[in-house]
Amino acid sequence: MTISSYVRDGLAFDVIDSGPADGDPVVLLHGFPERATCWREVSPILHEAGFRTIAPDQRGYSPGARPRTRLGYRGGELIEDVVALIDEIGRPVHLVGHDWGSAVGWGVAARRPDLVRSWTAMSVPHPVPFARSMKGPQRRKSAYMALFNMPFVPELVSGRDGRMERMMRGSGWNDDDVERFREEIVDYGALPGGLGWYRALVLAPRIGRVSVPTTMLWSDGDVAIGRTALEGNEDSVTGPYELIELPGVSHWIPTKAPRKAADAILTTIAKATGA
């Protein structure tokens, strides 16, 4: 049965469920500041390979799931939202996440390996090595988080040609990306909720090691996540682990390198299932 939405603790989440209905399910978790549509060029490639894709608009992005305080965006809640989606699907899934979706996916894979057949992380490594890297050069790359943690200010600079749009252009966005941000995030009312994830960072839960087959996909054109953030990432995975580096690709892997993203997902799935 196709899932267009699901409910957890009174919050309603919108879902894009597409591809072969009988295909093995692949759950795709978007990052900031994007929605499920960021997988629009990745999903068809997975469909061609016989997989069903389920991409939710996560907490803060779906209109029916926008808590008003930062307590509503605690990492444990974000993780349980995905667990509830997998329960709705009714079987273990291949899990994929980019940016903040990757941060959440690490938590799901660590806490509920029974629900995750394989795990493909894009851009953001396990929180333990990432936190450790903040003592070095990564701290400078993550300086934007201070802005995103401020009350009201990020929303005030999110207008047309404002500071936030200039930041995103500097990270690799083009005119089409900016227009999609205006329509799908700002005009849609999703920006405060997306920023809520940053504002709740101090409430992040501890995440243990991941035992499921894992691939880490990182691009050397990423202005937000440096190579040092990945040092020791393999130590946070007890199962099979592979690091794939994409040369000449910006932070926005799903939209700027959809074929490479899909190939990495398919390779991870094949190794996990022995296909």
Regarding beta strands 52-56 and 25-29, do their DSSP bridges make them parallel or antiparallel, or are they unpaired? parallel
- Other CB atoms closer than 10 Å to residue 245's CB: what's the count? 12
Supply the pLDDT for residue 152. 79
What are the chain's domains? 5-273 (3.40.50.1820)
pLDDT above 80: residue 275: no
Write the pLDDT tens digit of every residue in 55-98. 999 999 999 999 999 999 999 999 999 999 999 999 999 999 99
Helix/strand/coil for 220: strand
Give residue 242's pLDDT: 97
- Our separate counts of H helices and E strands in the chain read 12, 8
CB contact at 8 A, 16 and 55: yes
End-to-end CA distance of the chain: 25
* pLDDT over 90 at 160, yes or no: no
Q: What is the per-residue pLDDT for 156? A: 84
At residue 159, the pLDDT reads 80
% of the chain exceeding 70 in pLDDT? 100
Residue with tokens 């995030």: 185
pLDDT 10s digits, 123-157: 999 999 999 999 999 999 999 888 888 887 888 88
pTM: 0.97
